[in-house]
């Protein structure tokens, strides 16, 4: 098994507390991926807002995204078989269909948030990392690390 990462820097939703997908990780048919770690960081000046991170399993991906570029964490690892979609700038990235909430975390936006997790997707399933902030339109960096 090899580990891969996807990082996206984008602006959070312009509506306070509105959830916005930042990363979708899609496993191909007959393969699953295991989400290992999620990180969320504020790029604007530190804000005392509440950040809520949701991790979902979904049947379909939402709209408003761009194609991601997963990176291997080891130089000799094969290319990722999972594909990613990422939030694109300020464009809202809606949740897909048939979601199941797996985990939810809350933290203060002044502090970086890194949480080890161990969440396996279904075969050909999607794991989504969704962020909602009490302050609107903040530059936010989200990082996901998974193995496949």
pLDDT level of residue 31 (50, 70, 90 thresholds): confident
Rounded to 10 degrees, the C-alpha dihedral 15/38/145/126 comes to -50
pLDDT of the residue at 62 = 87
Tens digit of pLDDT for each residue in 75-115? 889 999 999 999 999 998 998 888 899 999 999 998 899 99
Burial class (CB in 10 A: 0-12, 13-18, 19+), 107: middle
For residues 70 and 64, what is the distance between their CA atoms, to the nearest angstrom?
19
* Backbone φ and ψ of 96, nearest 5°: -80, -165
Structure tokens at 32: 């699953």
Q: What is the pTM of this model?
A: 0.94
Question: Hey, where are the domains in the chain?
Answer: 3-147
d(CA 65, CA 57): 17
Mean pLDDT of 64-85: 93
CATH of 3-147, one of 2.60.120.510, 3.40.5.90, 1.10.10.10, 2.60.40.10: 2.60.120.510
Top mean pLDDT of 42-46, 68-72, 106-110 is at: 68-72
User: Residue 32 — very low, low, confident or very high, per pLDDT cuts 50/70/90?
Assistant: confident
């Amino acid at each position: 098994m090899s580990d891969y990462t996807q990082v996206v820097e984008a602006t959070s939703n312009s509506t306070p507390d509105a959830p916005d997908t930042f990363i979708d990780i899609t496993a191909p048919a007959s393969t699953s991926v295991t989400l290992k770690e999620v990180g969320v960081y504020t790029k604007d000046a530190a804000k005392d807002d509440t950040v809520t991170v949701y991790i979902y399993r979904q049947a379909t991906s939402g709209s408003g995204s761009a194609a991601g570029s997963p990176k291997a964490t080891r130089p000799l690892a094969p290319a990722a078989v999972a594909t990613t979609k990422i939030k694109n700038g300020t464009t809202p990235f809606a949740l897909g269909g048939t979601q199941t909430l797996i985990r939810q975390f809350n933290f203060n936006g002044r502090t970086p948030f890194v949480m080890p997790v161990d969440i396996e997707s279904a075969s050909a399933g999607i794991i989504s990392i969704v962020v909602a902030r009490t302050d609107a339109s903040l530059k936010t960096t989200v990082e996901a690390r998974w193995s496949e």
